[in-house]
Amino acid sequence: MTVITRFAPSPTGHLHVGNIRAALHNWLWARKSGGQFLLRLDDTDLERSRPEYADSIRADLTWLGLHWDGEEKQSDRFALYEARFEALKASGHVYPAYETSQELDLRRKILLGRGLPPVYDRAALSLTAAQIAAYEAEGRTPHWRFKLDHDQPIVWTDLIRGDQRFDPKLLSDPVIRRADGSWLYMLPSVIDDIAMGVTHVLRGEDHVSNTATQIQMFTALGAPLPAFAHEALLTGSEGKLSKRLGSLGVAHFREIGLEAMSVASLLARLGSSQPIEPFAAMQPLIDSFDFAHFGRAPARFDEGELATLNQKIVHLLSYDAVADRLPVGVDAAAWAAIRPNLETVAGVADWWRIVTGPVDAPPPAEEDRDFLAAAHRILADAPFDADIWRTLTGALKDETGRKGKTLFLPLRRALTGLDHGPDMGQLLPLIGKDGALARLRR
């Protein structure tokens, strides 16, 4: 069996971190299994779906490195839905209902007021021909419901949640088509999963009850069931569901300078028993992905943890991996010198300005003036090579008796304007002899 997974966002907005995690896990499972990862744009909501959102989804997946093997749009598949819908009508698996939304809402409130589950009572199945004619004379057109089979419990073994069991009598027959003829999510998704050969449906635990009803749709359409996996939803670092998670997406991550691999490294294992580690490439995440590692405990997303992970990944990146994003003049030696001090790759520009100057150094303390004058004299006469920092500080230590902080800090301040930064043994050769002499003289 060829494993086929799918990511099926609605192009009615931008992807958020929860969507990205679902897409990543589907992609990882397909790649580990040597299968296919498909993108399906669930754009049956023609009023809210926008081409720019579809473009944004594609761009986000591309930035994350989640390249898909095929793409479908539900808006191109209405003829298929119509054909399957007619087949379900013929087999008695769907039925028309004429209640208005206000009437249904009132019934739900009455049931809740009695302490009962707000399950649809199937009143539409008892309508007489005269009642239907009366409704149609009022100008009502029916919406359509899928008729659940109440005779058998709905069971499946979830790849994350284990054995699942639902009593269909406690579920409402789902509305699959509105009175205006437009489709809701449930049935088109099943029809597409069948047609696209999807073998694994991986999504959030908020879809568990949807899966229960969709399982009966697969059966009604005579199709084998895919495997299902429902993962715990993300929560904020404080342990509660966070509205902010709904606004965090690729645009935000890129804006603050994060690496795509930092996002992937965190989200790939978030909610699993595996340690979250910095990875500079996808292959280790592919090789280690396993549904057995995921549990039902809340998956806590922490932006601070993501920032720390990003810093570690930046420190792993080779020059070749970032060369096209570096300021003009930054070569492999400069990258090696600056990299340990970076939180993001974009931060290299700030350190490169320290190298190229000019530097706004604070006035030296009175007791450091003669010391810096000696440094200028020694540097002027010394051979300027890769060991120049060791040569300079060694000669100054011998001449002045200074050591430790009193030796190194005045030099760093004069040469960089800062009290901290990249290793001076690597930085001073980048500044150059003339630049260093000018800074010491000033």
What type of residue is 179?
A
Could you tell me the CA-to-CA distances from 232 to 20, 25, 202, 204, 211 in Å, in that order? 14, 12, 11, 6, 15
CA pseudo-torsion sign 331, 333, 337, 340: positive
Give the separation between CA 19 and CA 428, rounded to whole angstroms.
Answer: 46
β-partners of residue 272 are 294
- Give the CA diameter of the chain: 110
Helix, coil or strand: residue 386: coil
Give the separation between CA 268 and CA 28, rounded to whole angstroms.
Answer: 8
Question: 157 Cβ partners below 8 Å, 6+ apart?
Answer: 163, 164
Around 209, how many Cα atoms within 13 Å sit in the side-chain half-sphere? 9
Phi/psi zone of residue 405: left (φ > 0), alpha (ψ -120 to 50 degrees), beta? alpha
405 is an annotated ligand-binding site residue:
no
Q: What phi and psi values does residue 166 have, to the nearest 5 degrees?
A: -130, 140
Which residues belong to the annotated binding site for ATP? 243
Which residues belong to the annotated binding site? 243
